[in-house]
Structure 1
Amino acid sequence: MACVEPPRKKKKGRYGVAELKTLGNQLLSSASHINNLPLLLGFVSPSSPPHHVLESLLSLHSFFLPLLPKLPSSAASAAAPSGDDQSEFIYLAWLRSKFDEFLKSLVDVLASPQSDETLKELVLDTLMEFVKVANGGAFHSALYHKLLHSIVHSTSSATFLVDLLELKYFKYIDVRYFTYISLKKLASTLEGKDVSDDKIASGDGTNESQLSSNVESVIYNIYYTISHVPPLQGSDNTSDFEMWSSSESDRTQLSTDVDADDKPLKSQKRSKNVLSAAKIAKKMKLKFTKAWITYLRLPLPLDVYKEVLVNLHQTVIPHLSNPIMLCDFLTRSYDVGGVVSVMSLSSLFVLMTQYGLEYPNFYEKLYALLVPSIFLAKHRARFFQLLDSCLKSPLLPAYLAASFAKKLSRLLLSVPPSGALEDGVDEGKGDNSADEVMTPNSDNANAGAVPCQKSGIDHFNSSETDPKKSAAMRSSLWEIDTILHHYCPPVSRQVFALSLGNDLTVRAKTSEVNVGDFSAGSYATILGAEISRRVKQVPLAFFKATPSSLFSETDFAGWTFKCEETPEMINDNNEKSTKDLS
């Protein structure tokens, strides 16, 4: 065995790529050049030139790869055996410490903002190969966790590395499995974390805004990672589940009932478990659920919060082991109000209609969302479609249908034409017309009604947030008649308003209109529709007869636009004309 001596000191700047290649070839050719190992390790650093890092990495990778089965574990390196094997064990333990140092340096290079993308891709591939083989053939979950930790906590953007993982490695089921485990751990470390606590713990003069920004960056990186891990697709054949690690123990581990992140399983116990696609799918769903639920407990930045709510009902809920677990998160979001409530409505509606969630006061809170700004919201089309679905229930009380119809009709008078085209109030077809105005009993909204005694007074309270107290049943939909005389022609021609002129009690004459055809209206669609319309008669002037004056007397009552000339005015005009000619 070669004697391990400290290498001769030489400045890094004196080494070129050719010299590093020579040092690597010597290390690979003979154990007598083992002192080249610490020297090459010194070049695997974020501060080293990329080509130096690359040359050293290639040599060290080729050196360590065949030695991995012989190296003791990091924990076993502390206890050296007695006897003749002591010197050999000390040597292997030293190699193990250098290998751990090599891994740490690779992780540092991967997370450094100074490293270029080509070098990062090579470092990622090297680390993932060690994840595959450095743990006796089993998936090296500890190393993979360190890798994800460095990506998530990196000061630079994590999108490039996560995209590489998605492209190359997230197709393997074991990589996805341990990704969920690691992300759950990373999210757990941030749960309940307070900025002031970080400031005290750091003690380095870092200001509060910087610490808060760092936490937000980590939260965003976790979200970007977890949202790019494809969920497990259903399959009845385990051969369809491709794995990065070839170890049979990893395959059986995915189908056991004991969490891999809680305690290790003995190989004998794992060998007795029968691998099945159903068990793998169940375990993957469980890890997926734990990772997402833990992440959603974090104080999400507003932009991330909105993005999560937009995609939750499509990318998360269908793959959860128990979607009702999102109830607390969604109800809190729905109580926030404004656009956050609108964006949470999709997922909440899915839980209510598909998973049996009971949400008290749902319609009261939905009614409170009807404000003028909702007609200008980015996701208003989806909101009005959900509103249409929520109000289609035949069990909806009459006072509730009347309140929604009245509130939407009132909003039509104040919103711009692009929003006024979104009137989805054909659900209010059970409301009373202006000729049959009724009023509910103050104690019970469903009690007997009596005709309204005062004409010309609207008893509807548009500022009331509780539909039971809005007095909509004592009013009429006079706003619809106003919309028929709207200054914007497409609004006055809208089919919703015109349909209310029919006898809505006759179902044969009443056709339901698809709200989705109107809910995304804008000024561009209005202009495009008007340009493409074919009109039979185009007015060339505002008056069929030539007007004798600019304004008629009926336009301005009490005003006159006739000017009678007096003799004095005629003389003044003549004198002025004479001066101008001279």
Structure 2
Amino acid sequence: MAAPPYNSSKMISAQLRNKANEFLDSRKHANNLADILQMFEMESDNYTPVLLTIEVIFTELLKRGDLFEEIVPLKPNDVTPEGQYKRWLRECYEAAWSRTVSCMTKARGGSRLQALVTACKLLQAEGRYPLEPQNGYSFPAGRLKTIFNAFLDSEILMSAPITRFQEFSEYKDVQQYGLKVLAAMSYRKSPTPIFMQNYLELLDKLLTTDIMPEIKNKDKDKDDDKEDKVLCAVKGQPSFAYNAIICRRHANRCWAFACQWPLCAEPRTQKRALLLLVEKLMPLLMKPHLATDMLCDSLDAGGPISMLALQGVLELVCHHNIDYPDIYERLYAMFEPEMFATRHKRRLLHLADIFLSSTHLPESLVAAFAKRLSRLALVAPPEDTAALLQLVANLLLRHPGLKRMICYDDTPAIMSSDPYVMEETSACASGALSSSLWEVSALRRHWLPAVASAADKVLAAADPRAAPVTVQVPDELMLFDAELKKRFKSIEMNFIRPVGASLPSGERLAHYWEIAT
């Protein structure tokens, strides 16, 4: 029963293609354009054939210059048939554009993404072949604003279309004009949670391409590829002048408006805002210290939100001379068994390695971290256990005084119980210095060779020639691929080597069956 809709869709596509070719070949088929636009009203689900046809028709018309019209002030409209035909084409173009943009919100599935692609292709064609005379580089910012309005005014999350828009936001002109347009649209007194999430995701996609400082003349030849990444560039026309300072200014304005909204009201919006802040916006902010309140409040929230805020706090502490009290106590409290269920555990381990890289930290504090990491390694998944042990080895290498905590096989057992208190919230009061790393010795007998090897590296930290290494957390796919690449010896499947097709001697099957050789 699925074949007839497929055939009807193919038939509609063929009919639309024929109508488009007839319209482009001769003006006597001008009514075909009205029929094609009428298809928007007839369709209810699959708008893809109509959108593709609209894209082909108006891209060709813009390229031909059929929509170009020079408007002279105080001059009456051209009443000739040619002038009336051009005005009719312009009206059809505006109608097709509005219906294409509306499909971005009301269509379903692939038609919604195709509507976005068609709108961006028409924007590109209009930028290359403008409707009116232009002085300098031509970019239809008004069309881009219409697309952004469709994103932000939607009553549903527009994650899929905004993600697809990333392939266009990588162009320099789209990034610069997009940030300018978005900054002009950012003022909202009481935005909805859906608006805030769509806004933050759109801003994130506009910042996909790094905003680099202006290129010096002597370095222009090295960056030709980046300069060619322009959407509406045409040979022989004025080139686009990218200005990183303007992009940075507009990005700061976009974030300044967003900071006035209740971003921390919902966890999903707060995570989206923190990811955008720590990964894209922190190097661009002209006043990064204004983000201190949001980062500190998020750090106190706990869970994955505090893990995301930790990176921003590290940036403020290291580069902007911001002092956060009890930062190591907050970091110590993040290492709980629940951390292994979050997707930000790799980020936490990497940041912990940076925070604990100083050799001037108290031994009691570092010992508490080493002990807590070792205890968590007993219950962690195998891919996380190796990273935890690697971090413990780095701590022992940076602080040689803690090597007395290493528990070797020939060390006599002098403690009846472990004095370390796992439930203690204060790292210095946990009693870690009085304990030992017996967990590492136990992990030397782990069933996974990678974990056992990581435990051996911790015990080898007593070597003064060893150096700390970067903490890396492999995922399950990396471990699986590593096992597949290992070479195994040939494994014997029989006790007696078979000779031909005959059965080995003593086989009971020979009593019941006779096999001819």
TM-score under structure 2 normalisation? 0.61
2:360 pairs with one of 381, 395, 399 = 395
- Structure 1 residue 145 displacement after superposition: 0.5
Question: Any residues of structure 2 matched to 1:418-497 within 5 Å, and which?
Answer: 420-421=385-386, 422-423=388-389, 424=392, 425-426=395-396, 427=398, 429-431=400-402, 460-468=420-428, 470=429, 472=431, 476-478=434-436, 480-481=437-438, 483-485=440-442, 488-489=445-446, 494-495=455-456
Counterpart code for 1:183: L
For residues 452 and 342 of structure 2, the distance between their equivalents in structure 1, rounded to whole angstroms, comes to 23
1:477 offset after TM fit, Å?
A: 1.9
- Aligned with 1:488: secondary structure? coil
Change (3 A) 1:339 1:85: closer
Deviation at 1:177, TM superposition (A): 0.8
Q: Give CA deviations for 1:418-437 in whole Å, capped at 9, x if unaligned.
A: 65542314255445958xxx
Name 1:283's counterpart in structure 2.
246
Deviations 1:39-65 (A, max 9, x none): 468537364576666667766673895
**Distance (whole Å) between structure 2 residues aligned to residue 404 and residue 374 of structure 1:** 15
Which of 463, 467, 471 is the equivalent residue of 1:516? 471
Give a deviation string over 1:449-497, Cα, whole Å, max 9, x none: xxxxxx86866543232335x2537x5123x236425583467772465
1:370 — aligned with what? 335
Structure 1, residues 508-558: CA drift from partner, whole Å, max 9, x if none? 8363442626x54989969989x9899xxxxxxxxxxxxxxxxxxxxxxxx
Tell me the secondary structure at the aligned position of residue 144 of structure 1: helix
8 Å CA contact 1:460–1:472 kept in 2: the answer is yes
2:459 maps to which of 498, 509, 516? 498
How many residues align? The count is: 429
How far apart, CA to CA, are the structure 2 residues paired with 1:158 and 1:416? 32
Q: What is the Cα deviation at residue 346 of structure 1?
A: 3.5
Question: Is the aligned partner of 1:342 residue 2:307?
Answer: yes
Do the aligned residues in 2 keep the contact of 1:398 with 1:430 (CA within 8 Å)? yes
1:103 aligns with 2:68: no
Cα drift, residue 400 of structure 1: 2.6
* 1:330 aligned residue: 295
- Separation of aligned partners in 2, 1:495 and 1:405: 15
Which SS does the other structure have where 1:484 is aligned?
helix
Which residue does 2:205 correspond to in 1? 225
- C-alpha deviation, 1:146, in angstroms: 0.3
Can you list the C-alpha shifts for 1:409-448, whole angstroms capped at 9, x where unaligned? 55456556665542314255445958xxxxxxxxxxxxxx
In structure 2, relative to structure 1, the CA distance for the partners of 1:234 and 1:320 (3 Å cut) is: farther
**Coordinate RMSD, CA, aligned:** 5.4
- Letter paired with 2:445: C
| C-alpha distance 361-370 of structure 1, shift in aligned 2 (>3 A) | same
For residues 309-324 of structure 1, what are the structure 2 equivalents within 5 Å?
Answer: 315-321=280-286, 323-324=288-289
CA gap of 1:461–1:225, structure 2 versus 1, over 3 A, is: same
Question: Alignment partner of 2:205: what SS?
Answer: helix
| 2:123 alignment partner AA | L
What CA distance in whole angstroms lies between the structure 2 residues aligned with 1:224 and 1:432? 45
Residue pair 2:339, 2:345 contacting (<8 A) in 1 also? yes
Q: Indicate how the Cα distance of structure 1 residues 399 and 188 shifts in structure 2: closer, same or farther if over 3 A, else same.
A: farther
SS at match of 1:103: helix
Q: Post-superposition shift, 1:371?
A: 1.7
Equivalent residue letter for 2:98: K
Give the AA of the match of 2:336: V
1:176 CA drift (Å)? 1.4
1:43 is paired with a residue whose SS is: helix
- SS of aligned partner of 1:359: coil
Contact 1:183–1:226 (CA under 8 A) maintained in structure 2: no
Shift in Å at residue 364 of structure 1? Answer: 1.7
Match of 1:179 in 2: 178
Q: Is the alpha carbon distance of 1:41 and 1:295 closer, same or farther for their aligned partners in structure 2, counting shifts above 3 Å? A: farther
CA–CA distance in structure 1, aligned partners of residues 348 and 416 of structure 2: 33
Are residues 117 and 86 of structure 1, via their aligned partners in 2, closer, same or farther at CA, if it must alter by over 3 Å?
closer
Find 1:236's aligned residue among 204, 210, 216: 216
1:193-208 correspondence runs (5 A): 193-194=191-192
1:270-324 deviation line (CA, Å, top 9, x unaligned): xxxxx8x7xx221122223434565576748756765775686555444555555
Residues 19-168 of structure 1: pairs in structure 2 closer than 5 A: 28=27, 39=34, 42-43=37-38, 45=40, 47=42, 62=61, 65-71=65-71, 85=76, 100-109=94-103, 111-113=105-107, 115=111, 121-131=117-127, 133-134=130-131, 136-137=133-134, 138-151=138-151, 159=160, 163=164, 166-167=166-167
1:476 aligned partner, one-letter code: S
Q: Is the 8 A contact 1:398 1:431 kept in 2?
A: yes
Partner Cα separation in structure 2 for residue 246 and residue 525 of structure 1: 46
Alignment of 1:523-562 (within 5 A): none
Report the alpha carbon displacement of residue 127 of structure 1 after superposing the two structures with TM. Answer: 3.3
Of the structure 1 ranges 238-247 and 147-156, higher mean CA displacement relative to structure 2 is found in: 238-247
1:172-221 CA-to-partner distances (Å, cap 9, x unmatched) read: 433211111233455544x7424xxxxxxxxxxxxxxxxx6x55773575
Change over 3 Å in CA distance of 1:94–1:510 after alignment to 2: closer
Contact 2:298 2:306 in 1 (8 A): yes
How has the CA–CA distance of structure 1 residues 101 and 372 changed in structure 2, closer, same or farther, with 3 Å as cutoff? Answer: closer
For the pair shown, which has the larger CA radius of gyration, 1 or 2? 1
- Partner Cα distance (1:236, 1:226) in 2: 24
Q: Quick one: distance in 1 between partners of 2:125 and 2:40?
A: 20
- Gaps spanning 5+ residues in structure 1: where? 1-12, 195-211, 255-274, 435-454, 503-507, 535-582
Which sits farther off after the overlay, 318-327 or 125-134?
A: 318-327
TM-score between the two structures when normalised by the length of structure 1: 0.56
- Alpha carbons of structure 1 residues 131 and 358: separation in structure 2 relative to 1, 3 Å: farther
Change (3 A) 1:294 1:516: same
Q: Secondary structure at the match of 1:385?
A: helix
Q: Is the 8 A contact 1:151 1:161 kept in 2?
A: yes
Of 170-179 and 149-158, more deviation after overlay is shown by 149-158
Structure 1 residue 130 displacement after superposition: 2.8
Against the structure 1 CA distance between its residues 325 and 47, is the aligned structure 2 distance closer, same or farther, given a 3 Å change threshold?
Answer: farther
Q: Deviation of residue 29 (structure 1)?
A: 7.4
Q: Percent identity?
A: 16
Instruction: Decide whether aligned partners of structure 1 residues 111 and 495 sit closer, same or farther in structure 2, where only a CA change above 3 A counts.
Output: same
